[in-house]
Amino acid sequence: MNLIALPAFEDNYLWLLHDGARALVVDPGDAQPVQAALDRLGLQLQGILVTHHHGDHTGGVAALRAATGASVYGPARERIPEPFEPLRGGQGVTVLGVDWQVIDVPSHTAGHIAYFAADVDGAPLLFCGDTLFSGGCGRLFEGTPAQMLASLDTLAALPAATRVCCAHEYTLANLRFAIAVEPGNRALADYTRRCEQRRAQGLPTLPSDIGTERAINPFLRSRQPAVVQAVRAHTPSAHDEVAVFAALREWKNTFR
């Protein structure tokens, strides 16, 4: 299997997975870069996986379905361009010969889902849309801090080797905030240097992996003493774990 991050818009990645003949794409907000990659590589698009309803994730769905006949899969609780197969957490779907587990991860949007495969070429693979980013998490547009904390707990419990395919290149901005929260985190400092080098070479920082995110991502570390201390210094009223998480997310919203 070959995994390719197709850039789109200012900072989106449309993830293309293919076996040399057939392909699937995740969250195609723009059909053009996907169709160009299919033509260049001589691939037949078999499936389109959608994580949530935002236009930068769905804008190319109808055109790609019309051009290729690909099947579309998406969250049952959200408005996705019809027709599509509605999916809920706990269900499974086989696309490109890979068994994908559907995980409910509400909060960025109310019905957001993620797709997890336990073994793709020897390692787990996660398409998480805008719920988990490297060094960060999505904004809470339609859900609550408690929901996002629970969603991230679910993803953090996946195997450490799980490749994390986020939908945006937000990594360096997220890491600047993470360092402000946890300046003494050596793993974070090392990871930041590696990511800076990749961006300087014009390369994606992604995919990350769950083990790395557990070590460097403040939103997966919101119960760690150093993170709690930093959040409470910034927001003294943050007492319980949900309040700490909510204050951390609000801090990120205003961080410059």
Active-site hit among 30, 54, 104, 112: 54
CA–CA gap between residue 184 and residue 219 (Å, rounded): 16
Let me know if 112 is a catalytic residue: no
Asked if the peptide bond before residue 83 counts as cis, ω within 30 degrees of 0, the response is yes
Q: Out of 18, 52, 53, 112, which one is annotated catalytic? A: 52
Candidates 18, 53, 112, 168; catalytic one: 168
Active-site annotation holder among 18, 53, 108, 112:
108
108 part of the active site: yes
Known catalytic residue at 54: yes
Catalytic residue, from 27, 30, 53, 57: name it: 57
Residues labelled catalytic: 52, 54, 56-57, 108, 130, 168
